[in-house]
Amino acid sequence: MTHDTNGDTYSSSLEPVIRLAGLDRVYHLAGENIHAVNNVTLDVWPNQMTAIVGRSGSGKTTLLNLIAGLDTPTDGDVWLLGRNLAQMDERERLNLRLYHLGFIFQSFGLMPLLTARENVGVPLRMRGVAPAEREGHIDEALEWVGLSDRAHHRPYELSGGEQQRVAIARALAENPQLVLADEPTGQLDTRTGRRILNLLRRLVEERGVTLLVVTHDPQVMAEADVVHEMEDGMLVDTRIKEGIAVPGM
Ligand code: ADP
Ligand code: MG
């Protein structure tokens, strides 16, 4: 437990955004058990960039799906924004995702027939945000990622880096507390990846977002405040950047 100079614990004033306790996910496939996530316990703290790293098949995507409430653990608990997912019904989990989470994917996840601005507006439409308010959020988010002049382009008229910036704008427009990103630079060259990484860092610094990013990109690992390494479903190492305070460690 980390103490400040008054002897108080940080955790009294600061709660983790994500808390995983003894998390297991076992898949049963053709009579075989695959332990995709094996007894993972970790906390993700607010206003930090946390990375989950590990080779392909180590359980990273499974872990993200469990955190997002898109998959159900075989054992253990996920606490998201202070709430135990197992004690919420499907509707409550859906609302938690819709109102508090943003998602960024390796393959951008944009709708091919919609323009950049229509793509950014999708989650706001799902929330039922009124058109005038929606347009304001969309404009602001596109400007923030530097794509105001591409607002009416469709994904196939945009480069990979620009498509990922649209996806970041879509997450940002939701004003999320937590953004989950699965290999956000995985399909981009090193320079474009660096630009996307800078934008992700700015999400944390300027917008107060907590970012959890699954990656095997060395640039992202070097940038992250906290790096958790997975191997065969297990958490095998945690590295904290110098100067970063993490409660309890
Ligand atoms: P990563 O994202 O680190 O590449 P995954 O979480 O996708 O790893 O997969 C972890 C392990 O779980 C792999 O062995 C994978 O084959 C297995 N797995 C993932 N999803 C399923 C599923 N729906 N059914 C069966 N096995 C799965
Ligand atoms: Mg994966």
pLDDT digits (tens, 9 = 90+) for 154-188: 999 999 999 999 999 999 999 999 999 999 999 99
Q: Tell me the ligand closest to 36's alpha carbon.
A: 1
Lowest mean per-residue pLDDT among 2-16, 28-42, 71-85, 181-195: 2-16
Tens digit of each residue's pLDDT (9 = 90 or more) over 191-203? 999 999 999 999 9
Class of residue 221 by CB neighbours under 10 A (exposed 0-12, middle 13-18, buried 19+): middle
pLDDT band at 8 (very low <50, low <70, confident <90, very high): very low
CB 57 near ligand 1, within 6 Å: yes
Q: Length of the chain, please?
A: 249
Ligand 1 atom at shortest distance from the alpha carbon of 55: 3
pTM for this entry: 0.91
pLDDT band at 1 (very low <50, low <70, confident <90, very high): very low
Q: Tell me the ligand closest to 32's alpha carbon.
A: 1
pLDDT band at 246 (very low <50, low <70, confident <90, very high): confident
CB 30 near ligand 1, within 6 Å: no
> How many angstroms separate the alpha carbon of residue 217 from the centre of ligand 1?
19
Ligand 1 atom at shortest distance from the alpha carbon of 63: 6
Q: How far is CA 89 from CA 78, 178, 215, in A?
A: 14, 20, 30
pLDDT at 3 over 90: no
Mean pLDDT score across all residues of the chain = 92
The mean pLDDT value for 133-162 works out to 96
Contact between 119 and 155 under an 8 Å Cβ cutoff? The reply is yes
Tens digit of each residue's pLDDT (9 = 90 or more) over 79-112? 999 999 999 999 999 999 999 999 999 899 999 9
Tens digit of each residue's pLDDT (9 = 90 or more) over 203-225? 999 999 999 999 999 999 999 99
Q: Does domain 18-240 have CATH number 1.10.3720.10?
A: no
Ion ligand 2, residue ranges at CB < 5 A: 60-61
- Alpha-carbon distance of 220 to 34, in angstroms, equals 28
User: Candidates 23, 27, 183, 216: which one to mutate for ligand 1, based on the most atoms within 8 Å of Cβ?
Assistant: 27
CB 34 near ligand 1, within 6 Å: yes
Q: Tell me the ligand closest to 186's alpha carbon.
A: 2
Tens digit of each residue's pLDDT (9 = 90 or more) over 61-79? 999 999 999 999 999 999 9
Q: Is 39 helix (H, G, I), strand (E, B) or coil?
A: strand
Ligand 1 atom at shortest distance from the alpha carbon of 25: 12
pLDDT at 47 over 50: yes
Give the pLDDT of residue 243.
87
- Alpha-carbon distance of 42 to 26, in angstroms, equals 19
Give the pLDDT of residue 245.
83
| Atom 15, ligand 1: residue with shortest CA distance | 57
Ligand 1 atom at shortest distance from the alpha carbon of 58: 3
